[in-house]
């Protein structure tokens, strides 16, 4: 092979590799944008449900038995999480409501701690994280291994 042919092959290889690199970077960026958008939607939905759970708790002196019991008196619709395109199907012990709802129970002092997890997104985010909502009204991402035990939990309908 002559030196000229080798240079041409190197140029062609470089161009093809560059095209693949650009395509990969655009796909990665699109996936990150989708994750950010879905995270924002989930966070808004969970905050909306948490606010109405707190309203229910103030009026009824207890948390609602299920998210469905908030409709239509407290919420006008039951927000549904949208599965990300990169996620094949929801994972977890069950998906019976739009978000996994854990009825908070009081501690030994009779109060419900503000860091108690109340709502959990049914879809995991990258790095095996789930979006959760706390009784204090804030949301955050936690690793799936740090989630409350859901094995014995069954949703109240």
Whether the predicted model's global pTM rises above the 0.75 cut = no
pLDDT in tens, 87-127: 545 444 434 457 888 888 777 777 877 788 788 888 788 77
Q: How far apart are CA 35 and CA 126, in angstroms?
A: 9
Among residues 100, 101, 124, which one has the least CA distance to residue 53?
A: 101
The pLDDT confidence band at residue 84, using thresholds 50, 70 and 90, is low
The reported pLDDT for the residue numbered 59 is 93
pLDDT at residue 154 is higher than 70: no
Tokens representing 21? 């690199």
Q: How far apart are CA 117 and CA 54, in angstroms?
A: 13
Highest mean pLDDT among 26-30, 79-83, 91-95, 148-152: 26-30
- List CB contacts of 147: < 8 A, sequence separation 6 or more: 117, 120, 130, 132
Q: Mean pLDDT across the chain, nearest whole number? A: 77
| DSSP type of residue 27 | H
Helix H or strand E encompassing 126? none
Q: What are the structural domain ranges in the chain?
A: 3-146
**Total length of the chain:** 157
* HSE-up of residue 67 (Cα within 13 Å, Cβ side): 24
Tell me if 34 sits within 8 A of 40, measured CB to CB: no
């Amino acid at each position: 092979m002559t030196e000229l042919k080798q240079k041409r092959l190197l140029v062609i290889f470089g161009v093809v590799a560059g095209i693949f690199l650009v395509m990969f970077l655009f796909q990665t960026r699109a996936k990150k944008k989708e994750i950010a958008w879905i995270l924002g939607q989930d966070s808004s939905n969970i905050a909306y449900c948490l606010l109405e759970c707190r309203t229910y708790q103030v009026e009824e002196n207890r948390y609602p038995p299920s998210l469905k019991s908030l409709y239509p008196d407290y919420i006008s619709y039951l927000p549904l999480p949208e599965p990300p395109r990169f996620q094949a199907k929801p994972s977890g012990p069950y998906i019976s409501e739009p978000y996994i709802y854990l009825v908070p129970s009081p501690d030994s002092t009779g109060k419900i701690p503000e860091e108690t997890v109340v709502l959990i997104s049914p879809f995991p985010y990258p790095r095996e994280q789930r979006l959760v909502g706390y009784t204090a009204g804030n949301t955050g991402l936690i690793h799936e291994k740090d989630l409350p035990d859901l094995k014995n939990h069954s949703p109240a309908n």
